[in-house]
Chains A and B, each alone.
Chain A
Amino acid sequence: MALLSVSDLSISFGGLRAVSNLNLELNKNDLAGLIGPNGAGKTTAFNMLTGVYLPTEGDIKLDGKSLLGLKPYQINHCGVARTFQNIRLFGDLSVIDNLKIAYHSHAKYGVWGAICRLPGFYSGEKEMYEKSMELLKIFKLEHKWEELANNLPYGEQRRLEIARAMATQPRLLLLDEPAAGMNPQETHELMEMIHWIRDQFDLTILLIEHDMSLVMGVCEKIYVLDYGQIIAQGTPEEIKNNRRVIEAYLGEEAS
């Protein structure tokens, strides 16, 4: 059975139908891409998947359970984590605190335990610290654990955002333009990392990206969105040669 199944998902803002009849199906361990020209509705689709927007029609099911109407934090607890197109880190906090916050929903002690400093507090904090450091090592940020997130270079901020999403221990990871602003070298490393975390953590990944080298390089399945509708889907090879996709990107004459 599919891990994520999206059926006839639509949303209208006033008279504008930003996404209409979106159908998506991701199996466990899939690595899929969602591409399309600017304004096609990709981020809107992500926002519906994560509960930021309530769809006007359609349904989203994770492992058979509907996510419709749940708040973003509840959807996160169900096992969906995301990154943002415009980086949204907790900028004035240290790198490790960013991860610890994401571990919060798995914290092992309560408010009273914290206020009274019960033994559970110390063991809980220790566990959070160790888990966060492990993740930082994977994302090669361990030497910067004490630095403020805002002071990291751009590429590392993007990596930290992915690490933070991983800290919530998701089953489905949504990456919104993970390579935006990265140089080719960084993009290449990112591709390897996406592959690696998918295998290592048994993840399912859906990513939005404009950098075609990354999309074609890592995605096994690609959905193309234009004016809110899916115009094509298939393997990278199929998409590359699809007439409608070329039209959408380059205009009719070019095809």
Chain B
Amino acid sequence: MTELSAHPAIETPSTAPPASYWTLAIRKMLRPWLVKIFAAYIAAVLLISLTVPLLASGKPYAIDIHTGNGWVTRYPLFADLTTRDYLTFIAGAVIIGIVVAWRLTRVVEMMRRRSLRLGIAGVLIGAGILGGSALAILHHNRFDGTDYRALIKSGMAKNAIFAPIPWGYAEMEPLSKNAINELPSWHHWLGTDRSGRDVLARMLWASRVAMGIGFVSQAIALSLGIIVGAMMGYFGGIFDLLGMRLVEMVEAIPTFFLILTFIAIFGRSILMIMVILGVTGWTGYARFLRAEFLRIRQLDYIVAARATGMPLWRIMFRHMLPNGLTPVLVSASFGLAGAVTIESSLSYLGIGVRPPTPSWGGMLNAAGNPATVFHWFEALPPGLALFLIVLAFNIVGEALRDAIDPKSLS
């Protein structure tokens, strides 16, 4: 018989910092391998969308060019990047830096941790704003029409280092080569489209449009939904009555036709589509948060916070919001999928982003239509990418919902 332990468990202070609710929920969400794969896919697409100017470009990172004064090293890719590209890099780096700092400072003792985190975030954001504005003032990208491949062939340039995918999204093979609608080859890994452009390069660039529209529109929608939902749920009464009527009115707007109308009047603009999707898409979040706030505001810990005389905004946004946000975030992952779908539909119809900017929907359209020949190898990659990203958002959203279900959180 095994010996029964006679001593009570001695409480030893664990060295690891206690896992917060969110850490637990995300860990649990990622437990199934399928969710891991799809979360990794989303992360990869996000990373590609942020770094694509460095991944797919017809301009070499560095090249030695023969000029009147001998050989000179040039950096055409970096000179060719727009200010917006650089600002995107800076913003991405600041966000990633803050996330990493957040994780690393978990071991710091609680009272100092908060000021440390705020300090690091402040420094990073400050550096980002400074660097960004310096760049915006100093950096001018000029149109660079040089064909570096022709230069190399003619012996006027050498030692070129190209990006992994050495094609720009709008770079066409010369008409003389007649390289349109080519099947995949070593030269063009996913073939070329009807204008002789590299499909893989366009695929990667298109992730920018998809992610941009998804995240920006949902960020707008979330902010609006959280503000309106929190007000309705916390104050109730007349706020609730008017807020819900507003929600119903906005829900009655047909988003797709609104976008079509705006495009007809103001012309195409990706930013406009983002804003319209955001301004019409917040109602679901507001409803969720309202319901959560109605439930949470009666809980004892909120009564306790009021009893200690906490200010209203603190109760709403530090005590209630973290507890009511989870269902909203679950629905945000479905909202992301929806926004990506709408953008690709618009692009498929030819009223999304302005050509030659690629988008998965536009590429699907370009693969063929009843009037022309259908090229399946041009339709498959964007179709698959679109299908997988929407599926990934839905699967991760479902997993998050299961993970935060109080009946299953262990």
Whether chain B is bound by chain A comes out as no
